[in-house]
Amino acid sequence: MRAPGEAGEVIPDNERRDPDLSRRAFLRGAAAGGLTLAGGCKYGTQLFLIHDTPKAPAQQPAWAGSRVQRYRPLGRTGFQMSDISFGCSGLDDAAVARRGAERGVTYFDTSPDYSRAGSELALGTGLRGRRRDALFIVSKFCTPDGHLATDAPVATVIASVEGSLRRLGIDYLDLCHIHACNSLDRLMAPNIHEAFDRLKQAGKVRFIGVSSHTPDLETVMAHAVDSGRFDVIMVAYNFRNWPDLTNIFRRAHERGVGVVAMKTLKGARHTQLADFTPSERESFAQAAFKWVLSNPHVSGLVVTMSRREQIDEYLYASGQAVTASDVSLLEKYDRLVARDYCRPGCGACLDACPYGVPVDDVLRYDMYARNYGQRREAARLYAELDVDRRADHCATCSAPCERTCPFELPIRDKLARAHHRLACA
């Protein structure tokens, strides 16, 4: 049998509609040692499911050959960004990046820690031979082993960017982000900024940006815009979350700061929801993109494209206006994931955990494995956590985190499942 609530399971109607009943069903199974699951991984006396990649929506004939239909100014950079742009997390096929460029994508976002530098290598190969001035190539102040420390020496920061240039096979980056920025200290880290100034003077990086989906997202982004130091911000932004971001985006637009949206699919659970019809699964991503792009202060969005068919599906939304039916679909999705989706930028539960488990990060890694099919990368990221802060504590914890969650998520059960999924991948 499968764990209640997981992809592919037939759940009784009463438990599918009531998250508390699904939770009790899960606990009953765990207590009985009955979680013997297909493709399982043993931990203690139980077996837990490691999922296959979720099935993509059926390809529609109308999607074939989709191209970018609209470009938007990227703040004061002077560049025209494709409204739907290429995120390279999980990219390992150079031909996918090449096809994206052939279909009119101009903005490509990668990082040294995506697939331990494999993403940069694949992107560089895929874009080789194309007009460099027609492309905007973005990476991060980072290494294949992870984020640079806030106080990393200037020489280390410079060396990390030079490593990216070698892997990409290019002479300069258009933009480099301070990656997953979670504090004002990191945002304004003197060594990172000095390194950028030197790299810019040497012609190796043109612009500086910041990316964030952390609990301090709004604080970090507001300061980045107001500082006058940053050319671009990349922000987790999706349907009706983080209301103050609209004010930050407006100020960014007024000050010539480009705004790039990420995490626009809000967990990408549409392929797994039993209450979504096939046509709703096929329409969800495009509805989500159209809503994000309906904000005139958003320069464009970045979404992971690791398979060729995603290019057809995603670019079909380019240049289209959001409709009432799109909004209705997004509202239905919100109702269905309300007690399941861990919102980036929240973090209300973090201080309540007696073990210091980074709840938001663990659930994000689990999302990569379950919803995006990036099982190995998710397991790698999880394995890099301090062993004392992993979620193996959660099965026997009293779960004070749940009492602080404003969205009433069953955090303990979600973390226990995530640990067994990621530790065994």
CA distances from 203 to 100, 107, 163, 196, 358 (A): 26, 19, 15, 10, 38
* Mean pLDDT (whole number) for 68-82: 98
* Residue 288 placed within a domain: yes
Reported residue count of the chain is: 425
Number of domains in the chain: 2
Verify that 215 and 320 share a domain, yes or no.
yes
Q: Of the residues 307, 332, 357, which one is the last residue of a structural domain?
A: 332
The number of beta carbons lying within 10 Å of the beta carbon of residue 423 is 16
Q: What is the DSSP string of 29-44?
A: HHHTT----TTEEEET
The larger pLDDT score, comparing residue 219 to residue 11, is at 219
* Mean pLDDT (whole number) for 351-378: 84
Q: Of the residues 311, 332, 353, which one is the last residue of a structural domain?
A: 332
Question: pLDDT (tens digit, 9 = 90+) per residue, 243-282?
Answer: 789 999 999 999 999 999 999 998 777 877 778 888 998 9
Verify that 305 and 196 share a domain, yes or no.
yes
Task: Give the closest residue to 51 by CA, choosing from 41, 59, 66.
Answer: 41
Q: What is the pLDDT of residue 182?
A: 87
- Report d(CA 219, CA 232) in Å as an integer: 16
* Residue 305 placed within a domain: yes
* Residue 370 placed within a domain: yes
Asked if residues 164 and 112 have their Cβ atoms less than 8 Å apart, the reply is yes
Of 2-16, 342-356, 410-424, the one with minimum mean pLDDT is: 2-16
Strand-pairing partners, residue 177, are 140, 209
Q: What is the pLDDT of residue 11?
A: 35
Verify that 198 and 280 share a domain, yes or no.
yes
- Report d(CA 138, CA 174) in Å as an integer: 6
Verify that 80 and 211 share a domain, yes or no.
yes
Q: What SS3 class is residue 311? A: helix
Verify that 372 and 246 share a domain, yes or no.
no
Q: Of the residues 299, 332, 365, which one is the last residue of a structural domain?
A: 332
Range of the domain at 31: 13-52+342-423
Strand-pairing partners, residue 108, are 86, 137
* Residue 152 placed within a domain: yes
Asked if residues 143 and 163 have their Cβ atoms less than 8 Å apart, the reply is yes
By the 10 Å C-beta count (0-12 exposed, 13-18 middle, 19+ buried), 339 is classed as middle
Verify that 80 and 195 share a domain, yes or no.
yes
- Report d(CA 282, CA 276) in Å as an integer: 10
* Residue 8 placed within a domain: no
Burial 183-193 (b: 16+ CB within 10 A, else e): eeebbbbebbb
Task: Give the closest residue to 71 by CA, choosing from 301, 253, 308.
Answer: 301
Of 72-81, 109-118, 133-142, the one with minimum mean pLDDT is: 109-118
Verify that 18 and 128 share a domain, yes or no.
no
Q: What is the pLDDT of residue 96?
A: 97
Strands 80-82 and 84-87: unpaired
Signed CA dihedral, 247, 74, 83, 182: sign only: negative
* Mean pLDDT (whole number) for 162-168: 97
Asked if residues 360 and 350 have their Cβ atoms less than 8 Å apart, the reply is yes
Half-sphere exposure of 376 (CA within 13 A, CB side): 8
**Ramachandran angles phi, psi of 125, nearest 5°:** -65, -40
* Residue 292 placed within a domain: yes
Signed CA dihedral, 124, 130, 132, 136: sign only: negative
Q: Which helix (H) or strand (E) holds 286?
A: helix 278-293
Verify that 346 and 324 share a domain, yes or no.
no
- Report d(CA 284, CA 36) in Å as an integer: 33
Average pLDDT score, the chain: 85
Which residue matches tokens 């410079």?
158
